[in-house]
Amino acid sequence: MDATPQRDKGATADWKIGVDIGGTFMDFCALETTSGRVASLKVLTTPDDPGAELLTGLQLLAEREGLDPTTVSRFVHGTTVGINTIIQRKGADLALITNAGFEDVIELARLRMPDMYSLFCHRPDPLIPRDRIFGIPARLRADGTETTAPDLTTLAEAVARIRAQGLQGVIVSFLHSWRDGAQEAAVKAEIERLAPDLFVFTSAEVWPVIREYERTSTAILNGYVHPRVSGYLEALEARLAGQGVPARAMLTKSNGGLMNAAEGRRDCVSMLLSGTASGVIGAAWLARQAGETKILTLDIGGTSADFALIVDGQAQYGTGELIGEFPLYIPSVSVSSIGIGGGSIASVDAQGVLRVGPESAGSNPGPACYGRGGTRATVTDAMAVCGWLGHTAMAYGQLSMDVDLARQAVGVLAEQLGRGLEETAQAILDIAVSEMFVEVEKLASRAGVDLREFTLMPFGGGGPMLGAFLARELGLAKVMAPRRPGVVSALGGLVADLRGDFIRTIYADLDDAALSSLRQGFEALAEEGAAWLRVQGHAGAAELKLSADMRYAGQSFEIEVELQPDWLSDRAEIERAFHETHRRIYDFDDPAGRIEVVNLRLSAIGAGPALDMPEAEETGGRAQALRQVPIYLGSPQEIALYDRTSLTSGARFEGPAVVVQEDTTFAIPAGTEAQIDRHLNIHLSFAE
Amino acid sequence: MFDKMTLQVLANHARAAAENMAHTLHRTAHSAFVKETQDFTVMLMDRAGDTFAVPMDLGATWYPGLTYGRAIDMIGDYRPGDVAFTNDPYSGHVATHAPDTHLWKPVFVGDDIVAWTGGHIHNTDMGGAVPASLSRSLTEIHQEGIRFPPMKLVNEGVFDEQILRIMTTNVRKPELNIGDIKALVGALNTGERKVLAMVDRFGKQGFVSGVAALLDQAEAQARDILRAIPDGEWVFADYADEDSDNANPCRLKLTLRISGDEAILDFTGSDPQLASSLNVPSGGDPRHTILLVGIYYVLYTLNPKILLNTGLTRPFTCIAPEGTVLNPVAPAAVGMRSLTCARLRSVIFGAFSQAVPDRMPAAPAGNNCIVNVMTRNERTQKTVIAAVNPVVGGGGGMPHRDGTNGSGADAAYLKNTPIEITETEVPVEFVKYGLAQDSGGPGRWRGGLATQMAFRVFAPDSRITARNRDRSFFRPWGTLGGKAAGLSDMVVNPGTAEERRLGNIDTAVLQPGDVLDIRSAGGGGRGNPMEREPWRVAQDVARGHVSLASAERDYGVVIRDGLVDEAATHALRAKAAHPEGHFHYGPERDGYEAQWTAAAYDRLTDILTALPIHWRFFTKTEIFRRIGDRTGAAGVEAAFAETCARFPELPRPAPVAEAAE
């Protein structure tokens, strides 16, 4: 109860709350804007009653911080309900209506599959099995002319079978609907007439991009999660209203922006990467605040580690992000993932080589040291054996740690290897870090960036444990550990803008004739964007970001080039921008080459309220260690243990050290200097 | 000696370096071959030129066991910044057809070379008789484009402009070649930088001994796999439909001998080298990577944690006699060796299927057909040349899963092009792109279905090539009671009065309105189809993968109104004969082998081996022409006698004396 007593809370209070729900915890980041006070907390999730943890969290905020729900002016929510529906394959029973002759579009996908050296390699089973896919005579040509109108008799037969099978919804996807969605719309209208109880999504209304597999797959993901996401959001809004929260709930999107919850009930596909994307947005915001421009984020959970690049303070975007086993083709914040986390299991192979992962103890039973029945050594157990963990309770006191259990688990491997216990634990950590090293190196080479210019920002419960070691392996000079690493995603929601993405496929040579279709396209997209912002309830200024996917004729994939609307009358400007972008990404350009414009894209952005986080007064001086603790760092040593709450602005200390706080432990290797900034971030720099 | 406990750390750094090289090349390359088809490789090599790390995400799957040593040694005096290259299949046996251009670069620490970075790109065209430099009909290497024996392309960081000018003069798309080559040089530079970072991280001695440990680790893993397989000898043969245009089958034979932790792959008995471009230039290297691609798949399937590097080739010894299709002598053409390589993989899969029956799948479709279209855009009046989708077939039935539909197994690296993109760029209209009913071999686990693709053209004299088509006669085989799969086919205007069946022909000329229907083979079935759960068969029928008729005939499952008729199914299955034999080949091969028995082939091999190399293919063809209805070794002997009578110039060997030795 450290609420600021001089204020009459309730009367002038104005709370903004960001909430992010993950596998184990629901994270809250709450800001009271009149006092500038920030509160964060974690509540265990209640899988049996999703949404109940929200009430628990609001209650705790009321008790601890004096929050009055009627003073919440902004409520932003990120949720994994959509992605979990896909991973657990618990989504809607859907049918797909497509062109006759092309019913296998989602099974064939793009043919190529992962694990290509295995004779057992296979693609994931499609979300719609083939017996629920109905081809009907209908054909549009690439230029938009209709050669065969949709056959409504066949359609009626298909609808009858769909109803007989008891399916919930229908996806309609026809070839070339990127050019003209009218065929799909007509079929949708007919299905709704024949079977008003079925929900219907067309591929063009979900995301009208050229490439039939990608467009169809995106529309299916939308329909697949629709009933669950819709039900979840409805319940969420009801619960908030029940608490007297006046703000309409907003949702974080895969594109790092926001939309209102009502929109999310139809545009489900936009929120599939809700939490991971807002983590990057939160990290970017923290980085800008601390004056850092190039960041590699690292978020380690129980079963995986996520990485993203932030360049010039901005998250990077891509398409084709994997949702479980399926690629998603709407613009999303780029996040790479690898199946190595705190719960990854270490083992010794037949040749006596130590391995880590891909098997994971997950959160249940979890690492041996959690005392929940896990017996196999995990990365977290290795951290505990080396002495980094076990000094305080973890996760706001909700997890306790039994180091002896970790020693037993790692001991089994040490015996197999004939090596010392700590030595084995250190090797597990080195291997886990090297697995992440591979993934980050791939990310950097795909993006064509020099990692040495980047600062690593670890967050999540596990990021700060291994972050500094990974940074050293990658040759990064700096690490920045935010004050509240557990709620970066929740914070990301708080600081995000409304953002709607719109696309129009042009697919034409960039010549003077194309300019007029570009201008028309831009006008239509701008109108759509403005209308979207209005529906979100946005009254302020709108920013319209225009870009085009372009390529040299003959290339098989496009690059996104940022454009200014006034360039749409000036071909030379567009060409210049394309050549420049091409050179930046691919190291060469071809000024004489013919250019094609494939898509025109527009992002409509409605800026959220500016947030000022409080800055601490600089006090400086050497940080005071709480005590010395024994750590294994190649050899046993005594190193300083710091309490994060006692690290004030300007304080300094040297590694090796360990910093404990209620939601994570920051492990700091030797040869480093740490300094605390005015936002209480720890900045670590490696000597040399 | 590198600490084995933490070898995985070095393995990960090496893999990261290789992935870095692959992404750099993929990102900066110019041609669709590299960017889309991903027909490229990159690798890190030890001081001797043996590959110790390859990427797992990008590129082709053929070269993790490639050694550059022979080519490296053909040049002396390497300096920092040098890059050497070759595309000559007959110099050093690194390149295996002329479009594949291999580059390598030394990594110096002080005065010592500690490693090499290398890789290859498939150039769109290297000149020669036909565009793209590849045609089955070509008969000697000189028709297949310009060849560069190993030489320096970059001297201390500076490109040799003379070489680039010679290439520019001789090839059809020089800007693509040179763009891709420069991108590959960039990737080699990236690899060099990453190797130097590893030397910093692990120390020079640590790095060198660690690389040796990585090769030893892969070798130990491979030996563990072999040791777990009982000792024994397994023989398997398979056929490519034709050994040249409209001609006779091409047979590959393998005798696999496993003893302890070593294996011998004896290809003796395979056909003589061909007067077409289907030859596989291995140079007789007992561990040439191109002979061992099937082995990589087998080892990786048996242990997915295996390190892919040259170490895993060490327990294997290949015997490929000189002058045969797997070890041709110059100037035999080699451009279309991919087709033969697919069959080479099937004989390896077939031999291992007998050695480890519990853990191997049935035959994959094995015809990685690449379709190209040359037609005219009536609107722009321009000629368009474009690759359309690959038409590949399914994987074989697995021990616990149906074969993957549409592609899979050893064709998993291929990618398709969206119909919408192709139709926008090429004036063709697709009629179908999907899976073909009843094309998967029936089995307890069904073989993966074939792909079927049909499209219409609008301009006169539109030319189609469908490279690597095969399996239109010899089916992908089933195992352990599973049946062989459906055949590949190519038909013009199917179901009309003007239907033309093209069989194994790999080119077609189409007129306005013509529809070309291309179908791959399927994957073989595994296990007795009568033991497949009736519900799965019913599901296959509901999904259109299996017809009602096939459900009854092949699976003994009777389905009425979508439901399994248990009683009728039981009755039908009770009558079914139990399948015999490890393999099921289908009637075509059974019929063929009734005449061309194993003994007939042994005799043929003896006859041909005794002849000078340039007489062998000719004599084989003449024997086939003359054998008529005669069968077995006696039939071959009689046909040979007639051949000798007709061609007195034929140098008569002394077969009896030969045999007596």
The alpha-carbon gap from B40 to the nearest alpha carbon of chain A, in Å, equals 14
In this structure, the answer to whether residues A517 and A562 fall within a common structural domain is: yes
Q: Of the residues B298, B330, B355, which one is the last residue of a structural domain?
A: B355
In this structure, the answer to whether residues A131 and A58 fall within a common structural domain is: no
Instruction: Give the domain range for residue A543.
Output: 498-606
A667 is a domain residue: yes
Whose tokens are 């978020």? That residue is A299
In this structure, the answer to whether residues B176 and B277 fall within a common structural domain is: no
In this structure, the answer to whether residues B261 and B171 fall within a common structural domain is: no
CA distance B434 to B418: 12
CB of B395 within 8 Å of a chain A CB? The answer is: yes
In this structure, the answer to whether residues B162 and B283 fall within a common structural domain is: no
Please report residues of B whose CB lies closer than 8 A to that of A355. Answer: 8, 305
How many structural domains is chain A composed of?
Answer: 4
Q: Provide the pLDDT for residue A472.
A: 95
Q: What percent of chain A has pLDDT over 70?
A: 97
| Arithmetic mean of pLDDT, A263-291 | 92
Q: Provide the pLDDT for residue A393.
A: 66
Which two tokens mark A662?
Answer: 């209620």
* Residues paired with A630 in a beta bridge: A638
Read off the CATH number of the domain in which A78 is found. Answer: 3.30.420.40
In this structure, the answer to whether residues B125 and B269 fall within a common structural domain is: no
Contact indicator for A188, A200 with CB cutoff of 8 Å: yes
Q: Provide the pLDDT for residue A275.
A: 84
Report pLDDT digits (tens) over B534-574.
Answer: 999 999 999 999 999 999 999 999 999 999 999 999 999 99
Which two tokens mark B43?
Answer: 């690798």
For residue A657, pLDDT over 70 is answered with: yes
Region of poorest pLDDT, from A5-14, A122-131, A671-680:
A5-14
The alpha-carbon gap from A420 to the nearest alpha carbon of chain B, in Å, equals 12
In this structure, the answer to whether residues B45 and B168 fall within a common structural domain is: yes
| Arithmetic mean of pLDDT, A366-384 | 93
CB of B186 within 8 Å of a chain A CB? The answer is: yes
The alpha-carbon gap from A559 to the nearest alpha carbon of chain B, in Å, equals 11
In this structure, the answer to whether residues A103 and A220 fall within a common structural domain is: yes
B275 is a domain residue: yes
* A398 or A91, which is more confident: A91
Closest residue on chain A to B216 (Cα): A351
Report pLDDT digits (tens) over A434-453.
Answer: 999 999 999 998 888 889 99
| Arithmetic mean of pLDDT, A193-201 | 97
CA distance A253 to A258: 6
CA distance A320 to A314: 19
B-facing residues of A in 24-83 (CB < 8 A) are none
In this structure, the answer to whether residues A539 and A593 fall within a common structural domain is: yes
Report pLDDT digits (tens) over A511-535.
Answer: 988 999 999 999 999 999 999 999 9
In this structure, the answer to whether residues A65 and A98 fall within a common structural domain is: no
Please report residues of A whose CB lies closer than 8 A to that of B35. Answer: 555-557
Closest residue on chain B to A118 (Cα): B301
Q: Provide the pLDDT for residue A21.
A: 84
A563 is a domain residue: yes
B512, amino acid identity: P
Q: Of the residues B323, B355, B387, which one is the last residue of a structural domain?
A: B355
Which two tokens mark B179?
Answer: 């763009």
Q: Which residues neighbour A310 within 8 Å (Cβ) at sequence distance 6 or greater?
A: A280, A283, A284, A287, A293, A294, A295, A296, A297, A316
Q: Of the residues A571, A606, A641, which one is the last residue of a structural domain?
A: A606
| Arithmetic mean of pLDDT, B152-156 | 97
A338 is a domain residue: no
Read off the CATH number of the domain in which A535 is found. Answer: 3.30.1490
Please report residues of B whose CB lies closer than 8 A to that of A214. Answer: 418
For residue A2, pLDDT over 60 is answered with: no
B561 is a domain residue: no
In this structure, the answer to whether residues A64 and A148 fall within a common structural domain is: no
Q: Provide the pLDDT for residue A399.
A: 66
In this structure, the answer to whether residues B74 and B111 fall within a common structural domain is: yes
Report pLDDT digits (tens) over A467-496.
Answer: 999 999 999 999 999 998 988 999 999 999
For residue A3, pLDDT over 60 is answered with: no
A278 is a domain residue: no
For residue B147, pLDDT over 60 is answered with: yes
In this structure, the answer to whether residues B195 and B268 fall within a common structural domain is: no
In this structure, the answer to whether residues A44 and A121 fall within a common structural domain is: no
Instruction: Give the domain range for residue B514.
Output: 369-528
CB of B562 within 8 Å of a chain A CB? The answer is: no
A529 is a domain residue: yes
Averaged pLDDT of chain B: 94
B591 is a domain residue: no
In this structure, the answer to whether residues A66 and A177 fall within a common structural domain is: no
A43 is a domain residue: yes
CA distance B84 to B63: 18
H-type alpha helices, A172-245: 182-194, 203-206, 212-242
In this structure, the answer to whether residues A219 and A238 fall within a common structural domain is: no
Q: Provide the pLDDT for residue B97.
A: 96
In this structure, the answer to whether residues B246 and B127 fall within a common structural domain is: no
Please report residues of A whose CB lies closer than 8 A to that of B13. Answer: 434, 437
Between CA A323 and CA A331, with CA A326 as vertex, the angle to 5 degrees is: 60
Q: Provide the pLDDT for residue A396.
A: 58
Specify the DSSP element, H or E, that contains B623.
helix B613-626
Q: Of the residues B331, B355, B379, which one is the last residue of a structural domain?
A: B355
B536 is a domain residue: no
How many other CB atoms are there within 10 angstroms of residue A152's CB atom? Answer: 15
| Arithmetic mean of pLDDT, A316-322 | 86
Averaged pLDDT of chain A: 91
Report pLDDT digits (tens) over B353-384.
Answer: 999 999 999 999 998 898 989 899 888 888 88
Q: What is the 3-state secondary structure (H, E, C) of B95-131?
A: CCCCCEEEEEEEEEECCEEEEEEEEEEECCCCCCCCH
* Residues paired with A674 in a beta bridge: A653, A684
For residue B659, pLDDT over 60 is answered with: no
B132 is a domain residue: yes
In this structure, the answer to whether residues A578 and A515 fall within a common structural domain is: yes
How distant, in Å, are the alpha carbons of A127, A427, B442, B447 from that of B365?
26, 44, 14, 9
In this structure, the answer to whether residues B39 and B124 fall within a common structural domain is: yes
Specify the DSSP element, H or E, that contains A504.
strand A498-509
For residue B247, pLDDT over 80 is answered with: yes
Please report residues of B whose CB lies closer than 8 A to that of A352. Answer: 4-5
Read off the CATH number of the domain in which A107 is found. Answer: 3.40.1360
In this structure, the answer to whether residues B251 and B277 fall within a common structural domain is: yes
Q: Provide the pLDDT for residue B653.
A: 61
- Select from A113, A120, A555 the Cβ nearest to the Cβ of B361: A120
Q: Provide the pLDDT for residue A11.
A: 53
A340, amino acid identity: I
B301 is a domain residue: yes
B558 is a domain residue: no
A241 is a domain residue: yes
How many structural domains is chain B composed of?
Answer: 4
A656 is a domain residue: yes
The answer to whether the complex's ipTM is over 0.90 is: yes
CA distance B580 to B601: 24
B571 is a domain residue: no
In this structure, the answer to whether residues A123 and A157 fall within a common structural domain is: yes
Whose tokens are 């657990």? That residue is A88
In this structure, the answer to whether residues B383 and B476 fall within a common structural domain is: yes
Please report residues of B whose CB lies closer than 8 A to that of A424. Answer: 5
Please report residues of A whose CB lies closer than 8 A to that of B56. Answer: 117
Q: Provide the pLDDT for residue B661.
A: 38
Instruction: Give B658's pLDDT tier (boundaries 50, 70, 90).
Output: very low
CA distance B284 to B72: 18
Q: What percent of chain B has pLDDT over 70?
A: 99
| Arithmetic mean of pLDDT, B160-184 | 93
In this structure, the answer to whether residues B402 and B516 fall within a common structural domain is: yes
Report pLDDT digits (tens) over A567-624.
Answer: 999 999 999 999 999 888 777 788 888 899 999 999 999 998 777 777 878 887 899 9
CB contact under 8 A, A442 and B19: yes
In this structure, the answer to whether residues A567 and A673 fall within a common structural domain is: no
CB pairs A-B closer than 8 Å:
210
Q: Provide the pLDDT for residue B47.
A: 97
- Neighbouring C-alpha atoms within 13 Å toward the C-beta of B5: 18
At residue B458, the 3 state secondary structure works out as coil
| Arithmetic mean of pLDDT, B225-234 | 97
The alpha-carbon gap from B204 to the nearest alpha carbon of chain A, in Å, equals 17
For residue B656, pLDDT over 50 is answered with: no
| Arithmetic mean of pLDDT, B60-64 | 88
